[in-house]
Homo-oligomer: A and B are copies of this chain.
């Protein structure tokens, strides 16, 4: 049973918890843009300061990359240990003109906070600190050993946390890893995610003329990198959205019947997809439903493409270069390295003549599958029920949280993906938001988890 003092503290300190979150969100800790280096440092120090104030033994772990923030309670024998993970870095904000408020000047309106990082992942990781705060400030003993580690390179594909986890499995040893960087199934339905997709992120660069050419003087005489990049990308998939890279589907674990039935019971409709995305309609691999495509089928998508003149009006040039960023979302048992290598060979083989081509594997992530019936998984589900008032559904996610795979393999502990966000929180997009109700319920969930996990056999 969770202490009533803790629960009461949380309900009477919501305004304070919101004010604190606003301060955290004001720090523009964009890891992908070098000029925000100082903000990364500032966000790490912000966490260190708050964790120290909760009497946790706290350290900033200096690495070649962005700092890790680590904290732990006293580690007592014969009780469970939970490792909490999150990331304090955020996505870039462009296109800035589509934001209705400033990304780093949080706007609170109708029970929602709008800011970059509010849902992904500052708001969610911060829940764990506020749950600990409730125990500490009310003098309630925390019944489990807590470890917390927060990184600053999640949004830019950095390697620091991976190397640190692989090199320090004893320090991070635990009975379960808690990651809150996903979402509820919908506003009324809490969820635990038991499978994540992997990722192979590729960049294709083709180069033709040494500089942009006058398209009148030279059009039709040399290969146009802009046309060529389109030809390459167009040949990555067939018209049924089947990926054409050789061997792409060889290792895919097909969906089990009970999973397909469970997904179907969620009644995800075309209208919901339209409302969630603003897209004119569903489109994807033939033979699968939208949820199956989203959660359990591998994909291949352009994330960015550019070549030549992109300003207003006309400029008649043959571009010198063209670049496409393409990511493949991979499902359990697909090996990102193998897929990336197959992608590179295939793309080079279909590159039109008269060009130089480079294909780079920018970064990879392993897919993840957590058994749905473990005891810690049950404790997590019960905590969500206590926090959100409803027993969670078990879902998958199309996104990747690469560190989850590393936690599983290095720490040999189950990873509980207790997501407090919403699918339409606009993460990675303009007007990212976080519902305050979910923020408070998330804190309560973590507070319950500290109690429930302590009784797991």
Contacts and interface: CB of A to CB of B under 8 A. Distances in A.
A92 interface: yes
B311 A32 contact: yes
A301 B318 contact: yes
Contact of A429 (B32, B213, B426): B213
A443 interface: no
A35 to B, nearest CB: 11
Given A221-B290, A284-B220, A317-B428, A399 B214 contact: yes
Contact of A305 (B278, B290, B305): B305
A282 interface: yes
A213 B429 CA distance: 7
A327 B223 CA distance: 15
Given A220-B284, A430-B211, A308 B312 contact: no
B279 A209 contact: yes
Contacts of A241: 220
Nearest to A203: B314
A234 B230 contact: yes
A161 interface: no
Contacts of A234: 227, 230-231, 233-235
Nearest to A232: B230
Contacts of A277: 209-210, 213, 218, 221-222
A322 interface: yes
A224 B236 CA distance: 13
Interface string A349-375: 000111110000011000000000000
Given A220-B299, A302-B224, A423-B217, A280 B356 contact: yes
A284 B397 CA distance: 46
Interface of A: 32-33, 91-92, 94-95, 98, 156-157, 197, 199, 201, 203, 208-224, 226-227, 229-237, 239, 241, 273, 276-285, 290, 293-294, 297-299, 301-320, 322-325, 327, 329, 352-356, 362-363, 397-400, 423, 426-431
19 contacts: A92-B309, A92-B311, A211-B278, A212-B428, A215-B327, A216-B400, A219-B398, A220-B294, A220-B398, A224-B302, A229-B305, A230-B230, A233-B234, A278-B320, A280-B355, A304-B311, A306-B310, A308-B325, A316-B428
Q: 8 closest Cβ contacts across the A-B interface?
A: A210-B278, A216-B399, A226-B302, A283-B354, A234-B234, A220-B299, A230-B233, A304-B308
